[in-house]
Structure 1
Amino acid sequence: MDFLKKIETDLSAAFVQNGYIVQQCENLSALDKIRHKTVDLATNFLEVPYPEDAGEFLDKIFSLVPVEKLNSFRLHIISGLMAEAWFREAYFSCARSLVETIVGNELVMQRNIGLSIQFPGDDSSLLPLHSDSWGSECSPFEVVLWIPLVDCHRTKSMFILPPAADAKWRERVKEFAGAGTESLYRAVEPEIEWLEVPYGNVVLFTPTIMHGNRLNQESTTRWSMNIRFKGLFTPYSDKRLGEYFAPIAVRAASKIGMKFTMPGGFNE
Structure 2
Amino acid sequence: MDFLEKKETDLSAAFIQNGYIIQPCENLSGLERIRNKTVDLATNFLGVPYPTDTGEFLDEIASLVPVKKLNSFRLHILSGLMAESWFREAYFSCARSLVEALVGNELVMQRNIGLSIQIPDDNSSLLPLHSDSWGSECSPFEVVLWIPLVDCYQTKSMFILPPEADAKWRERVQEFAGAGTESLYQAIEPELEWLEVPYGNVLLFTPTVMHGNRINQESTTRWSMNIRFKGLFTPYSDKRLGEYFAPIAVRAASKIGMKFTMPGGFDE
Task: Work out whether the TM-score is over 0.5.
Answer: yes
* CA deviation string 1:195-236 (max 9, x = no partner): 000000000000000000000000000000000000000000
Matches within 5 A, 1:181-220: 181-220=181-220
CA distance in structure 2 between the aligned counterparts of 1:190 and 1:78, rounded to whole angstroms: 35
Corresponding residue number in structure 2 for 1:167: 167
Question: d(CA) in 2 for partners of 1:229 and 1:265?
Answer: 41
Q: What's the % identity of the aligned pairs?
A: 88
Q: Any unmatched runs of 5+ in structure 1? A: none
Are 1:60 and 2:60 an aligned pair? yes
Any idea what SS the aligned residue of 2:223 has?
strand
Q: Give SS of 2:3's match.
A: coil
User: How far apart, CA to CA, are the structure 1 residues paired with 2:161 and 2:168?
Assistant: 10
- Residue 265 of structure 1: how far off its partner (Å): 1.3
- The residue aligned with 1:18 is 18
Partner residue, 2:142: 142
Q: Kindly report structure 1 stretches of 4+ aligned residues shifted beyond 6 Å.
A: none
Distance in 2, Cα, partners of 1:221 & 1:106: 36
Query: Counterpart of 1:95?
Result: 95
1:76-130 CA deviation, whole Å, 9 max, x = no partner? 0000000000000000000000000000000000000000000000000000000
AA aligned opposite 1:132: D
1:178 equivalent in alignment to 2:194: no
Match of 1:238 in 2: 238
The code of the aligned residue for 2:30 comes to A
Q: Distance in 2 between matches of 1:146 and 1:168?
A: 25
Q: Counterparts of 1:47 and 1:265 in 2: how far apart (Å)?
A: 70
Q: Deviations over 1:3-24 (max 9, x none)?
A: 0000000000000000000000
- The one-character-per-residue Cα deviations of 1:234-257 (angstroms, maximum 9, x if unpaired) are 000000000000000000000000
Which amino acid in structure 2 is aligned with residue 25 of structure 1?
A: C
CA–CA separation in structure 2 for the residues paired with 1:254 and 1:181? 43
**What secondary structure is seen at the aligned counterpart in 1 of 2:264?**
coil
- Between the aligned partners of 1:100 and 1:250, the Cα distance in structure 2 is 12
Q: Secondary structure at the match of 1:22?
A: strand
Q: Which amino acid in 2 is paired with 1:194?
A: W
Name the aligned partner's letter for residue 140 of structure 2.
P
1:153 matched to 2:153: yes
Distance 1:96 1:177 in 2: 39
Matches within 5 A, 1:215-230: 215-230=215-230
SS in 2 for 1:155: helix
| SS in structure 2 of the partner of residue 145 of structure 1 | strand
Residue-pair matches, total:
268
For 1:41 and 1:161, how far apart are their aligned partners in 2? 34
CA distance in 2, matches of 1:246, 1:156: 31
Separation of aligned partners in 1, 2:221 and 2:252: 44
The aligned amino acid for 1:110 is: Q
Pairwise CA distance, 1:267: 2.1
2:75 partner amino acid: L
Query: Could you tell me which amino acid in structure 1 is paired with residue 252 of structure 2?
Result: A
- Normalising by the residue count of structure 1, what TM-score does the alignment of the two structures yield? 1.00
Report the TM-score when normalising by structure 2.
Answer: 1.00
How far off is 1:264 after superposition? 1.1
